[in-house]
Chains A and B, each alone.
Chain A
Amino acid sequence: MVKHQRQRASGDPIYDSVRQAARRLTIGVPLLLSLIDSGVIPTQSFNGRHKIAKLVVGQLLASAYEIWPPERRPHYSVEELRRLNGIRVEEVASLLGLSRTSAYDASRKRQIPARKLPNSDRWIIPQDAVGQMEAHDSVSLARGAINEDRSLFGFERREIENAKTDDEAAGEDLDA
């Protein structure tokens, strides 16, 4: 008698189960099911089970970047979209050095790329949101931030150099 072992569900390369999709979106399964019922997230049904395309979840997460102008938005390939995960607002807050409340405020004010899910209080944020912000900041802030002529704290460079030359002159006078 051959005993049939229950096979473990193999990782589907294209579709997520509801549980996997909920985990990727960092929301609960009941909320995801309600979103499926309201038609926000399209699904396929296999043997009476909901299957959500990985691409759909990725696109939903990537749509958080719509708050930015098109030239600033990141471009993802299909594979990248399939692999894109979400992170919680608390995690973003800890990465940015903000409190939880400030992070929610920032996402409400569209300072953080986040998208609020309809009929709920949940925000979805792509995993690389802080990385994208950092990349933008490194271009926009770091370049013009430290002026060549001005020192970081206080005096102008030229003033410092002038002061130095004055000191040297005074030293020479004393020597003479």
Chain B
Amino acid sequence: MRDAVTHESGLKQRNSGDRDAALRKARAHYTAQCKSFRRSVVVLIRCWVRDGTATNPNKVASELDRRAVVQLRGKKGWQRNTVVEMLRQEAPNLLAKLERPRRRYLTATELARKLGVNRKQIYYAVERGTLGCRRFGRKIVFPPDVVERAVRELQSQRKST
């Protein structure tokens, strides 16, 4: 009798163990599929960001909705929150790029870093009038055209020397 009971309980245990393993396997499979799906969506978003179709998370969400990309969870369509959450997990750099607008004007420090010169040299060039800038009180910023020309000028100078 005791043997029968232990045998039965052993079977039960084995069955429950099998079920757990199957459940775990299914869960892992689902997670892997979700992950691959999310990655493919991220690749899609990266393409849109590169060609300028989507410039912020809202636009990404509306674009995903427009192209009828199915969402994993939730009945509602793609929303900003879901996009942000997904990108936070999968591609934080891309999220940072989307949330921060592209800087047009550069500060003196940024320009110095871009040109590979000292910041004092930038102020010196501004003082001499060789580098155009826009002033906001004490702050100096450089428009993109000036930056481009400065880069070109410095490259040609370095080549000639």
**Which A residues lie at the B interface, using CB under 8 A?**
91, 94-98, 102, 105-106, 109, 111, 130, 133-134, 137-138, 140-142, 144-147, 150-154, 160
Of A134, A137, A160, the residue contacting B132 (CB under 8 A) is A137
A95 touches B101 (CB 8 A): yes
A150-B130, A153-B124 as given contacts; A145 in contact with B105, CB under 8 Å: no
Asked whether, in the complex, the Cβ of B101 is within 8 Å of the Cβ of A152, the reply is no
The total of interchain contacts (Cβ-Cβ below 8 angstroms) comes to 97
Q: Does B110 contact A (CB under 8 A)?
A: yes
Query: Which residue among B100, B102, B117, B153 has the maximum number of chain A CB atoms within 10 Å of its CB?
Result: B153
Q: Are B131 and A146 neighbours in the complex by a CB distance under 8 Å?
A: yes
CB of B140, distance to nearest CB on chain A (Å): 10
Q: Which of A97, A142, A145, A160 contacts B141 (CB 8 A)?
A: A97
Cβ A91 vs Cβ B101 within 8 A: yes
Check A142–B101 contact: CB distance below 8 A.
no
B119 smallest CB distance to A (angstroms): 12
Report B113-141 residues with CB < 8 Å from chain A CB: 117, 121, 124-125, 128-134, 136-137, 139, 141
Determine the residue in chain B with the shortest Cβ distance to A161: B160
Q: Are B103 and A95 in contact (CB under 8 A)?
A: yes
Interface residues on B, range: 35 or more
B49 sits at the interface (CB 8 A): no
What are 28 contact pairs spanning A and B, CB under 8 A? Answer: A94-B100, A94-B103, A95-B104, A97-B103, A97-B107, A102-B137, A106-B137, A133-B143, A134-B143, A137-B132, A138-B145, A141-B132, A141-B133, A142-B145, A142-B146, A145-B129, A145-B131, A145-B149, A146-B149, A147-B129, A151-B157, A152-B150, A152-B153, A153-B117, A153-B130, A154-B121, A160-B160, A160-B161
B141 touches A152 (CB 8 A): no
Q: How far is the CB of B22 from chain A (nearest CB, A)?
A: 44
Find chain A residues with CB under 8 A from B157 CB: 151-152
Is A150 within 8 A of B132, CB to CB? no
Q: Are B130 and A96 in contact (CB under 8 A)?
A: no
Point out the residue from B129, B149, B161 that lies within 8 Å of A142, measured CB to CB: B149
Q: Are A151 and B101 in contact (CB under 8 A)?
A: no
Identify the closest chain B residue to A145 (Cβ).
B132
**How far is the CB of B137 from the nearest CB of chain A, in Å?**
6
Q: Which of A146, A150, A153 lies in contact with B121, CB distance below 8 A? A: A153
Residues of B contacting A91 in the complex (Cβ-Cβ under 8 angstroms): 101
B144 interface residue, CB < 8 Å from A? yes
What residue in chain A is nearest B106 (Cβ atoms)?
A97
